[in-house]
Amino acid sequence: MILNVLIVGLGASIGSVLRFITTKFFKDTFKSISFPIATLFINISGSFLLGLINGQLPKTSFWTAFFIAIIGGYTTFSTYMNETVQMNFKNKIMAIIYYFITVLLGIIAALIGYVFF
Amino acid sequence: MIMRKIIYIFIFGFIGGILRGYFTFIAGNNHFIATIIINILGSFLLALMTGILPKIMKLSEALISGISMGLIGGFTTFSTFSFDSITLLINHEIGLGVLYILVSLLGGLIFASLGNSLGNLIISRGESK
């Protein structure tokens, strides 16, 4: 169990740094867009990749566990919720769109990754 | 500055991941419930901390990034949530799947709002003193 927990920790380290770099890239590239496209992209791409890993790689291998751990740390639920709450103070309609589009596209992406690839 | 942030996020992300891993493994077959609790708790803590941390303590920007993006960001996970959802739906556990999605989404939103309100309350009390 200790080894499994350590793998999740190391994966989350790498995943969190990847999330930071991706967020920074989106903020630098699309400066004028106030919609949180960085987190949207991260959560949809991560959901797709997690579906893909679970569908394609052997269940018991070390690398499967390690890749799953990286994706687990790369995606974020807390930022998604907090961006929704913060946006709701400025633009309610945008907040509602963000809230629903993330979960809808996230689940579809996980399904496509798992079933169709 | 960027390098310092990355190092802090890496270290705190490790702690966040360890905590999520530990809670998930001790939950065993109830790992769905563990993920719900992790995501709701993390949403609350992030909302609470992003508001009050810079005001109550003198922390560097890099350390705050480490705590918010690493510790809490690495603790919560969206991909497990979406993959768990399709696992339940594909295995014809439609009711449980819908319940899992609804509790995660509503719980996350409600607790992020509560964290935000509590943070504002703490800050306004501190300022009125």
Q: Is the ipTM of this complex over 0.85?
A: yes
Cβ of residue A26 closer than 8 Å to a chain B Cβ: no
Q: Say yes or no for a CB contact (<8 Å) between A107 and B45.
A: no
Tokens of A19: 């999330």
| B contact residues 65-84, partner A, Cβ 8 Å cutoff | 65, 69-70, 72-83
pLDDT tens digits for B65-81? 999 999 999 999 999 99
CB contact under 8 A, A50 and B17: no
**Can you state the percent helix, strand and coil of chain B, rounding each to 5?**
90, 0, 10
CB contact under 8 A, A110 and B109: no
Judged by a CB distance cut-off of 8 A, whether residue A56 touches chain B is no
Read off the pTM. Answer: 0.95
**B83 to chain A: which residues are within 8 Å by CB?**
47, 50-51, 54, 110, 114
Which chain B residues are within 8 Å of A10, Cβ to Cβ?
Answer: 14, 17
Cα–Cα distance measured from residue B9 to residue A59, given in angstroms and rounded to the nearest whole number:
29
CA B98 → CA A77, A108, B89, B91, B101, distances in Å? 18, 14, 8, 13, 5
pLDDT tens digits, A55-95: 999 988 999 999 999 999 999 999 999 999 999 999 999 99
Mean pLDDT, chain B, rounded, equals 94
